[in-house]
Amino acid sequence: MSVIEVRDLHKHYGSNRAVYGISFDVRAGEVYALLGENGAGKSTTVEILEGYRERTSGSVSVLGVDPAGAGRAWRDRIGIVLQSAGVESEFTVREVIELYGSCYRNRRTVDEVVELVGLEEKVDERVGSLSGGQKRRIDLALGIVGRPELLFLDEPTTGFDPSARRKSWDLIEGLVDSGTTVLLTTHYLDEAEHLADRVGVLSGGSLIAEGTPAQLIDEISGTVVSFMLPDDVAASDAVTTFAAVLGTEPRLSGRLVEVTIDHPTRAVHALTGWALDAGVELESLSVKRASLEEVYLQLSSEAPA
């Protein structure tokens, strides 16, 4: 069952095509991440799905309803975490959560919300006295206070320290385990790789790739083997030498040798066998799968301007 269905979505501003013919689904109970550089069309797409921006053409269904004409009952079923909510600075954390929570019929208690977002010790502090990361937690609190079936998260961990980011990931995973569907936009590619069941990559208003993080990594890039160039091998001979050993041409950056391959076991066996025969040590030998960030950068560089 799809919670979100988008078909041939367009949004034009005169000659500027902010969103151009994208289609995708978000299934019940999954985390779907929309990735793209600034201006790729992420925010426009999400605002259309939230019912805050009109589309030029195409069809959109969110929780079985067209958000362009959705009413109060529909909004009671969604939660939204904006990039910046602009919460009233003179209110206490408790007052803000009570105020916004009063808009929902099936809301969480203040105590439950502050515990979930880690603001128990700040619940009676004024919003204006909090740090940027703590204010961002309030934004997250307001998104989940109404027990949403569908949660829109727009750059939810911006301003968080590493510990707070990890805790927010645990919170999101807990929400998904309890049945919430999440549409996530983020510039942290490790966040998308950790949280997302599927990823859609936007560039120039078009959807240029879609799949699970593992699928995108496997389709776009193989395994990367890297090591430092041994002292006994001249830089001028490195590419030829290791191309013969590995069966494919490596990349040389200073003393760092890197090669992307599809069969790492065979390649590492050949490489270490050569090193043993030559009596050299391969410093910083590393075998790693490409990250979602590397795949994203490759897709973005290859996308039409």
What is the CATH number for 263? 3.30.70
For the chain, give the secondary structure using H, E and C: CEEEEEEEEEEEECCEEEEEEEEEEEECCCEEEEECCCCCCHHHHHHHHCCCCCCCEEEEEECCECHHHCCHHHHCCEEEECCCCCCCCCCEHHHHHHHHHCCCCCCCCHHHHHHHHCCHHHCCCEHHHCCHHHHHHHHHHHHHCCCCCEEEEECCCCCCCHHHHHHHHHHHHHHHHCCCEEEEECCCHHHHHHHCCEEEEEECCEEEEEECHHHHHHHHCCEEEEEECCCCCCHHHHHHHHHHHHCCCCEEECCEEEEEECCHHHHHHHHHHHHHHHCCCCCCCEEEECCHHHHHHHHHHHCCC
- Residues 207, 226 share a domain: no
Give the pLDDT of residue 300.
79
CATH number, domain at 167? 3.40.50.300
pLDDT band at residue 304 using 50, 70 and 90 as cut-offs:
low
For residue 89, tell me if it sits in a domain: yes
Give the pLDDT of residue 286.
93
For residue 26, tell me if it sits in a domain: yes
- Residues 43, 139 share a domain: yes
Does residue 38 carry a pLDDT above 70?
yes
Give the pLDDT of residue 51.
96
Strands 181-185 and 286-289: unpaired
Give the structural domain span for 27: 2-217
| Percent of the chain's residues with pLDDT above 90 | 73
pLDDT tens-place string over residues 195-212: 999 999 999 999 999 999
pLDDT tens-place string over residues 122-140: 999 999 999 988 999 999 9
Give the pLDDT of residue 245.
94
Q: Domain tally for the chain?
A: 2
Give the pLDDT of residue 261.
85
**Distance of CA 211 to CAs 193, 224, 271, Å?**
11, 21, 33
Q: Yes or no: say if 288 and 232 are a contact pair by the CB < 8 Å rule.
A: no
- Residues 248, 174 share a domain: no
pLDDT band at residue 79 using 50, 70 and 90 as cut-offs:
very high
Task: Render the burial of 99-127: b for 16+ CB within 10 Å, e for the rest.
Answer: ebbeebeebbebeebbebbbbeebbeeeb
Give the pLDDT of residue 69.
92
- Residues 165, 227 share a domain: no
pLDDT tens-place string over residues 135-186: 999 999 999 999 999 999 998 888 888 888 998 999 999 999 999 999 999 9
Q: Identify the residue with better confidence: 223 or 279.
A: 279
| Percent of the chain's residues with pLDDT above 70 | 98
Give the pLDDT of residue 291.
80
- Residues 157, 26 share a domain: yes
For residue 294, tell me if it sits in a domain: no
Does residue 302 carry a pLDDT above 80?
no
- Residues 258, 241 share a domain: yes
For residue 304, tell me if it sits in a domain: no
For residue 298, tell me if it sits in a domain: no
Does residue 294 carry a pLDDT above 90?
no
pLDDT band at residue 297 using 50, 70 and 90 as cut-offs:
confident
For residue 55, tell me if it sits in a domain: yes
- Residues 158, 275 share a domain: no
For residue 52, tell me if it sits in a domain: yes
- Residues 200, 230 share a domain: no
Does residue 242 carry a pLDDT above 90?
yes
Residue range 209-227: average pLDDT?
85
Give the pLDDT of residue 83.
79
- Residues 250, 169 share a domain: no
Which of residues 200, 217, 234 is at a domain's end? 217
Q: What is the pTM of this model?
A: 0.82
- Residues 201, 260 share a domain: no
Which of residues 186, 217, 248 is at a domain's end? 217
Which of residues 183, 201, 217 is at a domain's end? 217
pLDDT tens-place string over residues 62-78: 999 999 999 999 999 99
pLDDT tens-place string over residues 86-122: 788 899 999 999 999 999 999 999 999 999 999 999 9
Does residue 303 carry a pLDDT above 80?
no
pLDDT band at residue 289 using 50, 70 and 90 as cut-offs:
confident
- Residues 71, 144 share a domain: yes
- Residues 175, 277 share a domain: no
For residue 301, tell me if it sits in a domain: no
Backbone angles phi, psi at 285, to 5 degrees: -60, 125
What is the chain's mean pLDDT, rounded? 92
